[in-house]
Amino acid sequence: METRKNAVDPQALLITVAPTGAETAKADCPQLPTTLEELVRTAQECEAAGAAMIHVHIRDDEHRPTLDLARLTDTVQALRESTDLVVQLSTGGSVHDPLDHRLRVLDAQPDSCSLTMGTTNFGDDVFSNPWPFVCELYQLSQERQVVPEFELFDLGQVAALHRLLDRFGLPYGGRVHCDLVMGVPGGMPGTADALVASVAALPAQVTSWSATGIGRTTLPVALAALSKGGHLRVGMEDVVTISRGVPVESNRQLVERAAAIGELAQRRPMTTVEARTFLGLPSTAV
């Protein structure tokens, strides 16, 4: 599945960094990058450590999650000027963001966007992704020439991806890249068994997939993904400890660990140039 439609070294490992997220408070985790300056510095460090794509959430001046379009646009521009990373904006925002604001994320003209394939219980909250919204966001990504990453929180969302591709065809660029988000309270568990079941159920159109383990499932999911030939998303959006009771110092630390365990599996970090080919993006950002 990994090499069928991608002219990239099959041993190359796509490492995506998700540095901030929308759930962790800056007051609880001062090392979380929440300002534009911090985010740019983090992106540069993570690119040097082996990341090829960055999954971006932004914060306001009080370090709270926001989908402010001007801030999103400035962030995309700053990341493009300071790195060669593939810039992926979250269309999930926080669980409290209205659907119309989430659609407007594409106005910031990222390379890629996240596209979650269904509604998920998210701890005590609900991450709402109704089917009409999923369809509208997907068609908008096709029109705007933004490559979606399909985020899959359970097997039902894998089934929904079959339905979406059958109805609306392939995304812009012709590649179908998924991320299995595992270990969220309310979603599928972060286990090897759940990962194997999800990969077996992916549509035939899928050309690549990565996996994300939340919290204590980070390492088990990463190891299972590598054993199945998948790719990795890591970052402080998903985990804020490097080991039991030891806080993460920076996102770079998590990317370095992903690169190191990839090396054990004889997988080298994918370059940003390779990542663009791999995901069906133009060779340079527009």
Q: What is the pLDDT of residues 218-270, one digit of tens each?
A: 999 999 999 999 999 999 999 999 999 999 999 999 999 999 999 999 999 99
Angle at 45 (CA atoms; ends 43, 51), nearest 5 degrees: 70
Q: 């804020």: which residue's tokens?
A: 240
At 286 the pLDDT is 45
Q: Which of 73, 116, 66 is nearest to 93 (CA)?
A: 66
- Strand ranges in 134-213 using DSSP code E only, listed in sequence order: 147-152, 177-182, 208-213
pTM of this structure: 0.96
Query: What is the distance between the alpha carbons of residues 12 and 9, in angstroms, rounded to a whole number?
Result: 5
Residue 194 DSSP label: H
- What are the phi and psi torsion angles at 33 (to 5°)? -80, 110
Cα 215 from Cα 223, distance rounded (Å): 14
Neighbours of 25 (CB within 10 A): 11
Q: Estimate to the nearest angstrom the gap between the alpha carbon of 21 and the chain centroid.
A: 10
Q: What is the pLDDT along the chain (286 residues), one digit of tens a residue?
A: 443 445 689 899 999 999 999 999 999 999 999 999 999 999 999 999 999 999 999 999 999 999 999 999 999 999 999 999 999 999 998 889 999 999 999 999 999 999 999 999 998 999 999 999 999 999 999 999 999 999 999 999 999 999 999 999 999 999 999 999 999 999 999 999 999 999 999 999 999 999 999 999 999 999 999 999 999 999 999 999 999 999 999 999 999 999 999 999 999 999 999 999 999 999 874 4
Which helix (H) or strand (E) segment holds residue 141: the answer is helix 131-144
